[in-house]
Amino acid sequence: MLKRLARLAVNAYPRAWRDRYQVEMVKVLEGHKVSLATVIDLAIGVARAWFLWPHKGRWRAQMFVGVGSITFVCLFVFAGFQQSMRMGANQPQIQMTQHVTSMMTHGQSVNGFHTSHPIEIQQSLAPFLVIYNNQGAPVVSTGELYGRTPVIPMGVLAYAKQHGQDKLTWQPEQGVRIAAVVQYHANHGGGFVLAGRSLRVVEQGETSLLKMIEMAWLVLMGGLIAMVIALGRRRKSAKV
Amino acid sequence: MKSDIGRFSDPSFLILASLASGPKHGYAMMEDIQAFSGTLLEPGTLYGAINRLEERGFIRPLKVEERRRPYEITGAGFVLFQERVALFEKMAVIGKNRMELRGY
C-alpha cells in the first residue's frame, strides 16, 4: 500500500522532472523500505517541485495544483471553525439539562420550572427549557413559538432514552433554527429535559466567517496568479 | 561560479560527502550516507538535493547503468565540500574551546 502511494507520488512530479529522474527514483524505491515518512517526504518533494522548481513547464498544471490546494485549505479552515462554533453553541444547553436533571433528582418538582412569561423563541436569543413526561408529552415549557410549545421531531426522545442524551439542530418553523440538547432522566417516573436556544447569532458568525474565508481565498488566488506570472517572466528572461 | 554555501542545507552536504569518495547512484548514496552519518535521506529529499546540486554544477550525472544513474562530484563541488568541511572544523574548534571554558 505505502509502496503504491510512493509510486503515485513519483508520478505526481512535473513532467520535466519525471523525464529526468523518474526511472532512477523508481529504482531507488524498489530497494528502499518504504514507510509513511517516505510517502510524506515524496509529497513534500512533489509540492516543492511544482512550486519552487523553475523548469517545471506547464503553468496550467501549476495553477490547477495551486487552486486545488488553496481551495482545500480554505474549506478545511472554514469547516473546522464552523464545527467549533456549532459545538460551542450546545454548551449552555448541556449545562442547563444537567442542572435541571440534578435539581429534579434532589426533589425539585416539575412544576417549579413553570414561568408566567415564556420566551418567544422566534424572537429571543435566550435559552429555554421543555420538560417532557415519559410518554413524550410536554409538561412544562419556558419557551413558546407563536404561543405554543414547539413540536419536537419524531424519534428524538426515543434516541435520547436509548443513549441518555441527544444533540440536534432543530427547525420547528421556517427561519427558526435551534441548537437543542435532550437529556433523559429517571426521576418522577422518567422523562426528558430539553434545553434549546436560537442559532441566529451562531449563523451570523458563520456567515461572517464565510465572507472572511472568501476574501482570503480571493487574496490567495491573486497571489498565486501573480506568482505564476512572475515565474513565467523569470523563465523567459533566463532563456534569453 | 558563486559557492552559495549559505543556501545549502545538510542533504546537499551529505551528498557531496558521499560522492567525495567516488561516483554513486541514488540508492548507494542513501546507504553510504546512512552508514557514515546515521541519517536516512528519503528519496524525495535525496532527489531534491541532487537536482539542486546538479543544476548548480556541483555534481554531474554519468551514463545510466541498469536503470541506475551514478553521479560524480565536479571540481566546483569538491571546492564547495572543502569549504564546508573547513567551516565545520572551525566551528568544532570554537565549540570545544567554549565547552572547556564551562569545565567540560
User: Under an 8 A CB cutoff, do B48 and A49 touch?
Assistant: yes
How far does chain B reach from its first CA to its final CA, in angstroms? Answer: 42
Residue A57: the pLDDT is: 58
Does ipTM surpass 0.85 in this model?
no
The average confidence (pLDDT) of chain B is 87
**pLDDT above 70 for A60:** no
Contact residues, chain B, for A9 at CB < 8 Å: 44
Mean pLDDT on A130-148: 89
Q: Is B15 in the A-facing interface, judged by CB distances under 8 Å?
A: no
C-alpha cell at A69: 490546494
**pLDDT above 50 for A97:** yes
Signed CA dihedral, A39, A45, A50, A55: sign only: negative
Closest in A17, A28, A53 to B43, CB measured: A28
Residue B5: the pLDDT is: 43
**pLDDT above 50 for B8:** no
Backbone φ and ψ for A193, nearest 5 degrees, come out as -115, 120
- Summarize pLDDT for B81-100 with one digit per residue, the tens: 999 999 989 999 999 999 98
Over pLDDT 70: what percentage of chain B?
91
User: Under an 8 A CB cutoff, do A43 and B44 touch?
Assistant: yes
Residue A213: the pLDDT is: 94
Q: Which of A8, A24, A235 is the mutation pick for testing B, counting most B CBs within 10 A?
A: A24
- Summarize pLDDT for A184-231 with one digit per residue, the tens: 988 778 899 999 998 888 889 999 999 999 999 999 988 888 877 776
Q: Is B50 in the A-facing interface, judged by CB distances under 8 Å?
A: yes
How far does chain A reach from its first CA to its final CA, in angstroms? Answer: 45
d(CA B46, CA B10): 11
Kind plus residue range of the DSSP H or E element containing A173: strand A165-173
Closest in A23, A32, A38 to B27, CB measured: A32
User: Can you spell out the DSSP letters for A24-83?
Assistant: HHHHHHHHS---HHHHHHHHHHHHHHHHH-TT---HHHHHHHHHHHHHHHHHHHHHHHHH
Mean pLDDT on A141-151: 88
Gap from B33 CA to chain A (nearest CA, Å): 14
Kind plus residue range of the DSSP H or E element containing A237: helix A200-239
User: Under an 8 A CB cutoff, do B51 and A48 touch?
Assistant: no
Alpha helices in A89-191 (DSSP H): 91-105, 156-163
Q: Is A47 in the B-facing interface, judged by CB distances under 8 Å?
A: no
Q: Order of strands across the sheet with A128-133?
A: A138-141, A128-133, A191-198, A176-185, A165-173
Closest in A6, A24, A42 to B68, CB measured: A24
* Residue with the larger pLDDT of the pair A239 and A237: A237
Residue A240: the pLDDT is: 40
Query: Is the CB of residue A133 less than 8 Å from the CB of residue A189?
Result: yes
- Summarize pLDDT for B49-69 with one digit per residue, the tens: 999 999 899 999 998 888 889
Q: Look at A4-13, A63-72, A110-119, A167-176 and tell me which has the smallest mean pLDDT.
A: A110-119
Nearest CA in chain B to A41: B44
**pLDDT above 90 for B18:** yes
- Summarize pLDDT for A50-59 with one digit per residue, the tens: 877 776 656 6
d(CA B22, CA B19): 5
d(CA A219, CA A210): 14
- Summarize pLDDT for A3-39 with one digit per residue, the tens: 888 988 999 898 888 988 999 999 999 888 899 999 9
Beta strand A191-198 with A128-133: parallel, antiparallel or unpaired? Answer: antiparallel
Residue A76: the pLDDT is: 92
Gap from B89 CA to chain A (nearest CA, Å): 30
User: Under an 8 A CB cutoff, do A27 and B50 touch?
Assistant: no
